[in-house]
A and B are shown apart, each in its own frame.
Chain A
Amino acid sequence: MTHRRWFTPWLLAGPAMVWLAVFNLWPAVNTVILSFTNAKPLDGGQFTGLENYGRILDDEQLADALLNSVVFMLVCLPLLTFLPLLLALLVQRKIPGLTFFRTAFYTPVIASAVVVALIWGWVLDDRGLVNGLLQRSGLADSPVSFLTDRWLLLLSAIALTVWKGLGYYMVIYLSALANVPRELHEAAAVDGAGPFRRFRHVTLPGVRPTMMLVSVLISVSALRVFSELYVLSNGQGGPGGRDMSVVMLIQMYSRGFTGHLGYASALSLMLFAITLGPMLLLMRLNRKAA
């Protein structure tokens, strides 16, 4: 389109370009620079070469954090790939009350992670609702330590993540299901295929690309987990700090007098390296889907 003055587009895009340069591109470059220094929260620090990267290799807390991420991913992937699809099939049909159900299922998605983690923390407390019910029904004699045991705390955070993610991925599947041509379903029905066979041979192939997309989304978000673990463990990262996530470590090293911004930056770059593969795949899948 034509415009009279050459600088008009630059004027329009100006604010966004400033934000792009100042708050996105420069921090990305500076993360690399910082990762080779021993910068502290209150001083710039000196160049220390590869020291931070050497430290990554023998950081036991980081090894735990990475293991936690892997467990997170392994449990979340199957659950969050399939459950939201089933949920989407449930709310796909126009039935009375549908709007209410859809909105309700989406509520945990829009609630702050801090809010839902505090709610779950209270529900899973030693003297909370779940333990109360378990003991009343005789399933447990003493409280199950959901929030203080190394692995149970991680599983609690995973359960919370799955519960919070259901509605999010449900919506993605809903739009995918809307794109499965009805003619295919009708043709299959005419051929005498029952609902289960139709699901296997019509619905599943139709949403397969979306399942790929969802799997990648889940993998990336499993690597980026922070608030759920932080709040459930009251900022402590569980017994002996073994329930940290990579982002929790980044946060821990970027604060206070013990902070080490250089190391936090090296950790950030490591996180970037791990997420880059799934992220690029995500962009490719997105371009295909669009």
Chain B
Amino acid sequence: MTTRRSPDTRRSQGSRTSRGSRGLNTPSPAGTALRYLLLVLVLLLVIGPFLWQLSTSLKGPGEDVYTRTPAFLPEDLTFSNYAKVADTIPVWTYALNSLTVAAVCIAGNVIGCTLAGYALARLRFRGARLVLGLFLATLVLPGEVTIVSQYVLVRSLGLADSLAGVALPGALAMLNVLLMRTAFAAVPVELDQSALVDGATVWQRLWHVGLPNVRGMLSVIAIFTFIGAWDDFLWPLIVLNDPQKYTLTVGLQYLNGTFSANPRLIAAGTMIAFLPIVVVFAACQRFFFKGVEEGAVKG
């Protein structure tokens, strides 16, 4: 990871200082060794269960997965469990369903929250404060509180037991509107004003002045919308009845409830749900950790 730090920052973490500030930044070899030892210990605790599951998913039918002497490496390495999951539940359909929901949510949030965020940050209009207050007020409502009446609403719209019903409520999240507003508000007003002088319309200002300066926030919103939609369980569990329409998380629970006899299959199923998220996150983690060092990420 490369964190781009401006040269004038006072807090260049951990770069060795030449002015002997008494070992503040020059750790002793023993200290470094201890640090790595602790890091590796935590790593084993955090990654161990995932690796164990991966290993279980690759163990052949001849191998005893229940032994009292756990074998960490499959002796009879096979990918057949992944094929067998697909025979048991339509796991690839589920993956596609999850992907569809995630795609709708990303599109809705990126477009809708950008437009609204810009209007709230950069345009003056009557009622703006009230609108902003309403957006803010929704933040004290945990999603679980309104989930029952959201279900009633989705059903009355005729969208019960459909992927549209799963995707719609989250297709435009109030929090993301506020985040985009904050991002647009941070763009220097001078830029906007010079564009105004040149006679640019609102749309042109949004497109040429606003958007290039909020790319970071947009990518973070896109990543987290994907992760949120892909991982969501409670809402699709309430909306969906037809096992053909399940998303991956609901499908996995269904697999667990129905065929709990074979841990190899469940392991393979969880890996199918887990690996895409890891790939997406590993590819995007630069964006994510960029702000952390500067203390830009607020809880």
Give the B-binding residues of A (Cβ under 8 A).
1-4, 6, 8-10, 12-17, 19-20, 22-28, 30-31, 34, 39, 87, 90-95, 97-99, 101-108, 110-116, 118-123, 125, 127-129, 132-133, 135-136, 163, 166-167, 171-172, 174-176, 178-179, 181-183, 185-186, 189-190, 192, 210, 213-214, 217, 220, 224, 226-227, 230-231, 234-235, 247, 250-251, 254-255, 261, 264-265, 268-269, 271-272, 275-276, 279-280, 283, 286, 289-290
- Of A91, A94, A265, A289, the most chain B CB neighbours within 10 A belong to A94
Q: B97 contacts the other chain (Cβ, under 8 Å)?
A: no
- The DSSP consensus for interface residues of chain A is helix
Interface string of B59-95 (1 = CB under 8 A from A): 0000000111110000000000000000000000000
What would 14 more interface pairs be, CB under 8 Å, given A110-B281, A171-B297? A12-B118, A12-B119, A27-B146, A28-B149, A31-B148, A87-B42, A105-B46, A106-B285, A116-B49, A118-B266, A118-B270, A179-B295, A224-B142, A227-B233
Interface contact B68-A135, CB-CB below 8 Å:
yes
Interface contact A171-B292, CB-CB below 8 Å:
yes
User: Given A23-B168, A213-B299 in contact, is the A95-B116 Cβ separation under 8 Å?
Assistant: no
Q: B99 contacts the other chain (Cβ, under 8 Å)?
A: no
Interface string of B12-39 (1 = CB under 8 A from A): 0111000001111001000010011011
Interface contact B274-A175, CB-CB below 8 Å:
no
Q: B222 contacts the other chain (Cβ, under 8 Å)?
A: no
Residue of B131, B144, B277 touching A224 (CB-CB under 8 A): B144
Interface contact B13-A94, CB-CB below 8 Å:
yes
Residue of B nearest to A31 (CB): B149
Residue of B115, B281, B297 touching A12 (CB-CB under 8 A): B115
Residue of A93, A108, A231, A283 touching B139 (CB-CB under 8 A): A283
Min distance, Cβ A96 to any Cβ of chain B, angstroms: 9
Residue of A3, A128, A226, A250 touching B123 (CB-CB under 8 A): A3
Interface contact A133-B145, CB-CB below 8 Å:
no
Interface contact B144-A250, CB-CB below 8 Å:
yes
User: Given A23-B153, A185-B24 in contact, is the A4-B201 Cβ separation under 8 Å?
Assistant: yes
Residue of A15, A99, A120 touching B115 (CB-CB under 8 A): A15
Q: A175 to B13: give the CA distance in the assembly, Å.
A: 12
Interface contact A279-B266, CB-CB below 8 Å:
no
Interface contact A30-B141, CB-CB below 8 Å:
no
Q: A251 to B150: give the CA distance in the assembly, Å.
A: 12
Residue of B38, B122, B123 touching A90 (CB-CB under 8 A): B38
Which residues B118-149 have CB closer than 8 A to chain A? 118-120, 122-125, 128, 131, 134-135, 138-142, 144-149
Give the A-binding residues of B (Cβ under 8 A).
1, 10-11, 13-15, 21-24, 27, 32, 35-36, 38-39, 42-43, 45-47, 49-50, 52-53, 56, 66-70, 108, 111-113, 115-116, 118-120, 122-125, 128, 131, 134-135, 138-142, 144-153, 168-169, 171-172, 174, 177, 192, 196, 201-202, 205-206, 227, 230-234, 237-238, 248-249, 252-253, 256-257, 260, 263, 266-267, 269-270, 273-274, 277-278, 281-282, 285, 289, 291-299
Interface contact A10-B277, CB-CB below 8 Å:
no
Min distance, Cβ B120 to any Cβ of chain A, angstroms: 7
Residue of B23, B43, B267 touching A101 (CB-CB under 8 A): B43
Q: List 26 A–B pairs whose Cβ atoms lie within 8 Å, in order of A's numbering.
A: A1-B196, A3-B123, A12-B123, A15-B108, A19-B171, A20-B138, A23-B168, A34-B152, A103-B1, A110-B278, A111-B274, A112-B248, A113-B231, A119-B53, A132-B68, A136-B69, A171-B292, A172-B297, A189-B24, A190-B21, A227-B233, A235-B257, A265-B149, A268-B147, A269-B145, A276-B140
- Of B202, B292, B299, the most chain A CB neighbours within 10 A belong to B299
Interface contact B119-A112, CB-CB below 8 Å:
no
Interface contact B238-A255, CB-CB below 8 Å:
yes
User: Given A12-B115, A16-B113, A115-B252 in contact, is the A251-B234 Cβ separation under 8 Å?
Assistant: yes
Q: A189 to B45: give the CA distance in the assembly, Å.
A: 34
Min distance, Cβ B187 to any Cβ of chain A, angstroms: 11
Min distance, Cβ A90 to any Cβ of chain B, angstroms: 6
Q: A189 to B292: give the CA distance in the assembly, Å.
A: 25
Interface contact B142-A114, CB-CB below 8 Å:
no
Residue of B nearest to A123 (CB): B49
Interface contact A178-B234, CB-CB below 8 Å:
no
Interface contact A254-B147, CB-CB below 8 Å:
yes
Interface contact A272-B148, CB-CB below 8 Å:
no
Interface contact B238-A254, CB-CB below 8 Å:
yes
